[in-house]
Homo-oligomer: A and B are copies of this chain.
Amino acid sequence: MEKKIPYKIYLEENEMPDKWYNVRADMKKKPAKILNPGTLQPVTKEELSGIFCEELAAQELDDTTPYFEIPEDIRNFYKMYRPSPLVRAYCLEEKLQTPAHIYYKFEGNNTSGSHKLNSAIAQAYYAKKQGLKGVTTETGAGQWGTALSMACSYFDLDCQVYMVKVSYEQKPFRREVMRTYGASVTPSPSMNTEVGKKINAEFPGTTGSLGCAISEAVEAATTQEGYRYVLGSVLSQVLLHQSVIGLETKSALDKYGIKADTIIGCAGGGSNLGGLISPFAGEMLRGEADYEIIAVEPASCPSLTRGVYAYDFCDTGKVCPLAKMYTLGSGFIPSANHAGGLRYHGMSSVVSELYDQGLITARTVEQTNVFEAARDFARIEGILPAPESSHAIRVAIDEALKCKETGEAKNIVFGLTGTGYFDMVAYQKFNDGEMSDYIPTDEDLQKSIANLPKVEL
């Protein structure tokens, strides 16, 4: 007999995952190896350990070990804000009058407001374990910086955040949350680093860019004794840590005998999507089950749907390893879409390879359409979603409406990555009817894609 499904499925503490799952281990064709940006040869663990912590460098390169035990300290931290609820969207189903059953995994119930904390705490842990003094990073919209500052504060690590100057000025509240957690937040470009000084001299009055902030953070990590650089998305290690989202989702569904049909996630760098789908993709790779997996990206930054699958720089500063990925070119400058977390030129190499193998489909949505879904969801389900997450909401609603036409009672699961508390400027634009959509032309994309690095292996 089917158990009554509550509004929110919480796992018990002892049902929480004690291992992360590395989907690469089940991939017959592995994601292409990452390359040293100087030599264009596969990067070694030693080279990688100059930028990243040793254990993280090892995780980054390991494509065969299926499970990594989650250290107890991290499991204890997880217990403070996890398990996150898997919510049955009864009210949304009722409103849409759909036969579909809609579920969402809500990662916003923590102070950083998003799933980023899952990897931040892991990266801080390994930095501490290695005896480092601190870590450096960049942040744009501020979700990652906030998560990292919380994680570092927990392990008493110094946290140096380079925040794109325009965000630093326009998002003072994000900045204050980081400062409250003891992080030092520097507007980038700054006068702390050589690269920052150089950019300030060349472009006086510049409001900065993510590429510049990355370059500053990497320089700060490599020129200070006892520091390493950390990154909140794209990397395979990040997807590994984020697998906790998918593992919990799967356990919660299994607990009530629910088989997902469609799994939907927004996709910027791929950290949430990759984490959410990992165990499901693993079943597909092992031939145990089949799912429809949909990656949703903004029409303004369509790396999967309109990019090329090639080696590219992960950062506009060209200091991080090169990865083979679906990319629009590291010089691609997306329009000012309000989903800052999805404004990334490329896609995680793991997600890219799964997409290339046909396990994932992708689709684009435009932002006014996304904000309509966000507003409706807020009113119906009582959660004000982040613009990023709302890309997944849009497609989940669309899929549920299709079920209404066909009469199918599909189980639709989507990732609700975070809350929109710090995105009210975007909501205001939408509320005032002043939001517009922008889709890059083919010419725009050809131009940025033309500048990919020439890699011959």
| Segment of A263-271, A296-304, A397-405, A421-429 in the binding face | A421-429
Chain A: interface size category? 35 or more
Are B173 and A424 neighbours in the complex by a CB distance under 8 Å?
A: yes
Q: Does A378 have its Cβ within 8 Å of any Cβ on chain B?
A: yes
**A383-B146 Cα distance, complex, nearest whole Å:** 12
Q: Does A131 have its Cβ within 8 Å of any Cβ on chain B?
A: no
Q: Does A276 have its Cβ within 8 Å of any Cβ on chain B?
A: no
Q: Does A177 have its Cβ within 8 Å of any Cβ on chain B?
A: yes
Cβ contacts under 8 Å, A378 to chain B: 111, 180-181
Chain A 408-454 residues near chain B, CB threshold 8 A = 419, 421-422, 424, 427-428, 431
Contact with B along A1-34 (1 / 0, CB 8 A): 0000011101011000000000000000000000
CB distance from A92 to the nearest CB of B (A): 10
Are B180 and A80 neighbours in the complex by a CB distance under 8 Å?
A: no
Chain A 75-89 residues near chain B, CB threshold 8 A = 76-77, 79-81, 87
A contact face: mostly helix, strand, loop, or mixed = helix
**A181-B430 Cα distance, complex, nearest whole Å:** 12
| Of A154, A182, A382, most B-chain CB atoms within 10 Å | A382
Contact with B along A47-88 (1 / 0, CB 8 A): 000000000000000000000000000001101110000010
Are B177 and A384 neighbours in the complex by a CB distance under 8 Å?
A: yes
**A452-B20 Cα distance, complex, nearest whole Å:** 64
Contact with B along A105-122 (1 / 0, CB 8 A): 000011101000000000
| Chain B residue nearest in CB terms to A117 | B382
**A153-B379 Cα distance, complex, nearest whole Å:** 6
**A172-B423 Cα distance, complex, nearest whole Å:** 12
| Chain B residue nearest in CB terms to A79 | B7
- Of B76, B109, B424, which is within 8 A of A177 by CB? B424
Q: Does A318 have its Cβ within 8 Å of any Cβ on chain B?
A: no
Cβ contacts under 8 Å, A113 to chain B: 421
Contact with B along A153-185 (1 / 0, CB 8 A): 110000000000000000011001101111000
Q: Does A45 have its Cβ within 8 Å of any Cβ on chain B?
A: no
Cβ contacts under 8 Å, A127 to chain B: none
**A386-B12 Cα distance, complex, nearest whole Å:** 28
CB distance from A375 to the nearest CB of B (A): 6
CB distance from A349 to the nearest CB of B (A): 31
| 5 extra A-B contacts, CB within 8 A, seeds A6-B79, A80-B91, A176-B428 | A8-B13, A113-B421, A173-B421, A179-B427, A180-B427
